[in-house]
Structure 1
Amino acid sequence: MINDYLQPEDFLMDDTFKKYCEGSDERCIQFWEKWVIDNPSKSHLVEKARYMYQILSANITPMNVQVNKINEALQPQKELRKRYILWYAAAAACFFIVLMAGLFYYVNKPEKPVLYSKSFETGLGSKKKIVLPDGTIVYLNSDSEIKMEEGFNEETRSVKLIGEAYFDVAHNKEKPFKVLTDNFKVTVLGTIFNLKAYPKEGFSEASLVKGSIKVESTDGDQENTLTLRPGQKMKFYQNEKKSIAGVKASPQLPKIELGRLTKLDTNIVETAWVTNNLVFDALTWKEMQPIIERWYGIDIELGDETVAGYQYTATFSKENIFEVLKRLQEVKSFKYKMKGGQIIITK
């Protein structure tokens, strides 16, 4: 129920609220405008959620651009005529600049780089259970790697992840547990969550099972920070740089989605792999391809664009690759053949 929404993140998972923020559906706009009027005590939550939506949708104008526009719009209303006033103003400005420069250096002084030493990794078609020195249990999915910082658990607990891992973090209030990926950083005290960050895929994902985690972008921008609660997930889509001939490509802000964990039968889709269940929820062949390749350690070529768009919902456990292909064929027909250790899918 909408009246039970207690955090901005709750609003962001409501599709009608997203359309209200986008201004794309008149009925949603009318509904939410009326709801805000009828629920004035929650207007501040709605405004914060709308602001967060704009950030996540990459529609907020960068602060420096806003400041420049304001400065351009402001015109001096009068000139100071007395020279000594100008002198004091200049002296004050110099003092302020020096003070702010010192403060900026103090606040933004370079942190000591984290050095990662011991690592664990898995190949295609394999998984691994790891117990870190602090007691944290990590399940590492196929084709993944996790690195521990030097001196892990002495003063801090920091690891770096490439691929996918399920964490059951040992609680330690004095030493927050941190996981760094290419796209974001996760900070926790003690909790259970799943991170997916394969470099070749166009997105990264954080899914929370128990406790709470803080997810922030690796650029350190405090505006791009979310706190997830149990049953929530965040998906981070990295935009590709688009360039025009002769014009240098400019980086685009990533798209971020907030949603809920998906349950299919008795499995939570995002973490089913931990119990050796391969679950697809309305995925196309193109989306399933890298997952099946990692799971079975085999190369797949999609030889037909139509087949690549075929969509499937299915659960597998102990089936081999050929049993999986047969069951998928029963849902939507396609052909396949083996060639040089590769499976080629055609219509």
Structure 2
Amino acid sequence: MAALIHKMREKQPLLPAEQQELADWLNSNESNTQLLETLQNRENLTAELEALMQYDEDNAVAAIFSALGEPLPAVAPKATIKMGSFLAAASLLVLIGLASWFYLLKTGSTKNGGPSIVYKTISTAPGEQHRVLLADGSEVWLSAASSIRYPASFKGDTREVAITGEAYFSVTKDKTKPFLVTANNAQVQVVGTKFDVMAYSDEDATRVTLLEGSVRVGRRQRAEGREEETVVLKPGEQVSVSRSSGLSQPIPVQTDEVTAWREGQFRFNETDIPSIMRQIARWYKVKIEYNGAVDDIHFSGQISRKEHINELLDILSDTRKVHFEMTNDSTIVVIPGHK
């Protein structure tokens, strides 16, 4: 099977018998489809290789290939593979990634016999978005300048992930295994639902917005001796968790404004200029400086994130409430009033 997947990665045509073998393998187990997606993704495959490097004994490597039913490569993988030469070693990486996946799922053990949890981290750069499929079928969309850390497979009584930045979740329902999201000092507990978590470090609070279902939001850490405080959200509500004032009461919000980034849009509704500029900085990878007070200036409107940054700044300038100057080092200076 590793050889067939390698042929697919190299865009080599499969024979009819090979196509049938691949189809039978995919249909035999739902997790095989996810495995194929993982192995076709460079970032995921790199993460699998990094996980495999934990097993640095020769007999462990041999056991991995034995579990797969593949012959041990003549050249030792650890001695020859370097992360910087990923493409040159693609065929061997497929074998290693496939073998390590099955070995970890079948044995669930580490070198000392304890349970093994392999974590992956996926990050987005400014101006990027990324969809992540979790082992339970839940989907996560990462906004720009964000990251998620999650296990390759969910073990135990909960499904736990951690994010920075902003992410939209569509969680597969499982009443026996709650889904937990940690973001800064907030923790969100759900069973199956759709919600958005915004937890950028330059924001004054972590905000959780519910679109469907129900979620319980609390502080990640509480003061010793104090009863834990939580809030249950209804669809269309948002709650904030700040380090200074703690957990807020739910408020109604326009969810389409909160999740507009998923549709490739900037959408503002009486949004203050500093908040707008933070979004611009994350998407266009620019620095922001202020030459005067602009906190009381607000703007409503919508524009595609595909537009050039100058187009967006021109629209804001047309309000004649604020204008901008761009320096040579990609710094935008925000100045109140018109030119």
TM-score class normalised by the smaller sequence: 0.5 to 0.7
Q: Quick one: distance in 2 between partners of 1:216 and 1:120?
A: 25
CA contact (8 A) 1:116 1:147 kept: no
- CA-CA distance at 1:324 after TM superposition: 0.7
TM-aligned CA distance change 1:187 to 1:255, over 3 Å: closer
Q: Which secondary structure state, in structure 1, belongs to the residue aligned with residue 282 of structure 2?
A: helix
Structure 2 contact 135–152 (Cα < 8 Å) conserved:
no
SS in structure 2 at match of 1:123: coil
Q: How many residues align?
A: 216
Q: Secondary structure at the match of 2:249?
A: strand
Q: 1:319 aligns with which of 292, 301, 307?
A: 307
Cα shift readout 1:88-111 (whole Å, capped 9, x = no counterpart): xxxxxxxxxxxxxxxxxxxxxxxx
| Counterpart Cα distance in 1 of 2:322 and 2:130 | 33
Give distance in 2, aligned partners of 1:238 and 1:225.
15
For the aligned residues, what is the CA RMSD?
2.2
TM-score by length of 1: 0.58
Match of 2:125 in 1: 123
TM-superposed deviation, 1:199? 1.9
Q: CA deviation at 1:231?
A: 1.3
Identify which of 200, 212, 215 aligns with 2:214: 212
1:337 to 318, 321, 325: 325
1:281, 1:292 → 2: CA distance?
15
Taking the aligned partners of 2:263 and 2:189, their CA distance within structure 1 comes to 25
Task: Name the residue aligned to 1:139.
Answer: 141
The secondary structure found in structure 1 opposite 2:281 is helix
Equivalent residue, structure 2, for 1:228: 233
Within the candidate set 254, 257, 260, 1:262 is matched to 254
Amino acid paired to 1:258:
P
Distance 1:138 1:200 in 2: 22
Q: Partner letter of residue 237 of structure 1?
A: S
Please point out which of 170, 173, 178 is paired with 2:172.
170
- Flag structure 2 segments of 5+ consecutive residues without an equivalent: 1-115
Which residue of the partner structure matches residue 271 of structure 1? Answer: 259
Structure 1 residue 156: Cα displacement:
3.0
Q: Which one-letter code corresponds to 2:246 in the other structure?
A: P
Change (3 A) 1:222 1:274: farther
Report sequence identity in percent.
29
Deviation at 1:257, TM superposition (A): 3.3
Pair 160,255 (structure 1): closer, same or farther in 2 beyond 3 Å: closer
1:155-196, Cα deviation, whole Å (9 max, x unpaired): 531001111100000111221111012221111111000001
Higher relative contact order (CA 8 A, sep 6+): 1
Cα gap change, 1:137 to 1:153, in 2 (>3 Å)? farther
Task: Say whether the 8 Å CA contact 1:176–1:187 is kept in structure 2.
Answer: yes
After TM superposition, the score normalised by the length of structure 2 is: 0.59
Larger radius of gyration: 1
